[in-house]
Amino acid sequence: MGPSAVTYLLLKYLHVLGAIVILGTGTGTGIAFFMLMAHRSGSAAFIAETSAVVVLADKLFTATAVAVQPVTGYLLMRESGYAFTDGWIALSLGLYLVAGVFWLPVVWIQARMRDLARGAAADGAPLPAAYHRLFRIWFVFGFPGFGSVAAILWLMIAKPEI
């Protein structure tokens, strides 16, 4: 196996790993599951602790993967001879932007929900209406965010001629 093949496989590995991290944490099932379970508990203290971990996970894992994906994707595209104008790549990039449009506000929403839950827990008060409103927005934003990333994964695998 020559240097070019090793480079390609390393890039592909990093790119797939990034997709796994994004699907599992950022727009994906891991964070959504833990946030939803915490919310369903109704416990402000539990929600505060869970959302603090979620915000940290987004900073450490999701943000890193989100930053690395375009780099590895571009390098893979260059190594493979694809172009930005190839339909599946153009659509993937558009969907990546859609995912970002929904993910960026969610990062802020999660931090705000954490702060509201911390305040309610400290005061021994119920979760405020603002928390519930933000949770509904967070929940709805998850569908296009996750759906976009899931569609990108399919496009990466299938590489359909569009």
Tens-digit pLDDT profile for residues 119-143: 999 999 999 999 999 999 999 999 9
Closest CA to 135 of 151, 113, 114: 113
With cut-offs at 50, 70 and 90, classify the pLDDT of residue 25. Answer: confident
* Torsion sign (Cα): 34, 36, 40, 43: positive
With cut-offs at 50, 70 and 90, classify the pLDDT of residue 47. Answer: very high
Rounded to whole angstroms, the Cα distance separating 103 from 19 reads: 14
**pLDDT at res. 110:** 95
Q: Where in the chain are the domains?
A: 3-158
Q: What is the mean pLDDT of residues 15-30?
A: 84
- pTM, two decimals, is 0.90
29 vs 101: which has the higher pLDDT: 101
pLDDT over 90 (residue 94):
yes
